Amino acid sequence: MNAWLLDKCVAWAKAHRHVDQPERTIWDVFEEERGRLVEYRSPFDGFHTVPASVSKTCTVRFDNNKYSVLSTAVGRPVEIQAYADRIVIRQDGVIVGEHVRSFGRGQTLYDPWHYVPVLARKPGALRNGAPFQGWELPPAMERVRRRLKAADDGDRQMVAILTAVLSDGLDAVESACQQALAENVCSSAVILNIVARRRDPAPAVTILTSDALRLRHEPQADCARYDSLRRAS
**Other C-beta atoms lying within 10 Å of the C-beta of residue 124:** 11
Q: How far apart are CA 101 and CA 94, in angstroms?
A: 19
Domain of 67, in residue numbers? 48-109
Do residues 121 and 193 both lie within one domain? yes
Do residues 148 and 163 both lie within one domain? yes
21: CB partners within 8 A, 6+ apart = 29
Is the per-residue pLDDT at 44 higher than 90? no
Between helix 26-34 and helix 2-15 the angle, nearest 10°, is 110
Q: How far apart are CA 200 and CA 203, in angstroms?
A: 9
Do residues 27 and 55 both lie within one domain? no
Q: How far apart are CA 161 and CA 175, in angstroms?
A: 12
Per-residue confidence at 63, pLDDT binned at 50, 70, 90? very high
Q: Is residue 224 part of a domain?
A: no
Between helix 154-168 and helix 188-198 the angle, nearest 10°, is 10
Do residues 193 and 119 both lie within one domain? yes
Q: How far apart are CA 193 and CA 189, in angstroms?
A: 6
Per-residue confidence at 43, pLDDT binned at 50, 70, 90? confident
Residues shown for the chain? 233
pLDDT for the residue 93: 93
Residue (of 192, 144, 190) closest to 165 by Cα position? 192
Is the per-residue pLDDT at 233 higher than 60? no
Question: Could you give phi then psi for residue 155, rounded to 5 degrees?
Answer: -65, -45
Q: How far apart are CA 174 and CA 142, in angstroms?
A: 9
Do residues 101 and 125 both lie within one domain? no
Residue type, 35: G
Do residues 184 and 142 both lie within one domain? yes
Per-residue confidence at 207, pLDDT binned at 50, 70, 90? confident
Q: What mean pLDDT do residues 44-62 have?
A: 93
Each residue's pLDDT tens digit, 75-134? 899 999 999 999 999 999 999 999 999 999 999 999 999 999 999 888 989 988 999 999
Per cent of the chain over pLDDT 90 is: 72
Do residues 57 and 131 both lie within one domain? no
Q: Is residue 215 part of a domain?
A: no
Is the per-residue pLDDT at 218 higher than 60? yes
Q: Is residue 40 part of a domain?
A: no
Whole-prediction pTM: 0.69
Residue 17 DSSP one-character state: B
Per-residue confidence at 142, pLDDT binned at 50, 70, 90? very high
Q: Is residue 218 part of a domain?
A: no
**Can you tell me whether residue 122 is helix, strand or coil?**
coil
Is the per-residue pLDDT at 172 higher than 70? yes
56-60, 66-70, 137-141, 198-202 — which is least confidently predicted? 198-202
Is the per-residue pLDDT at 201 higher than 90? no
Do residues 121 and 190 both lie within one domain? yes
pLDDT for the residue 219: 78
Do residues 69 and 92 both lie within one domain? yes
pLDDT for the residue 69: 97
Do residues 133 and 158 both lie within one domain? yes
**Please, what is the Cα angle at 165 between 158 and 149, to 5 degrees?**
15
**Can you tell me whether residue 65 is helix, strand or coil?**
strand
pLDDT for the residue 56: 93
- Domains in the chain, number: 3
Q: How far apart are CA 4 and CA 184, in angstroms?
A: 60
Per-residue confidence at 139, pLDDT binned at 50, 70, 90? very high
Handedness of CA 87, 163, 147, 174 (dihedral sign): positive
Per cent of the chain over pLDDT 70 is: 97
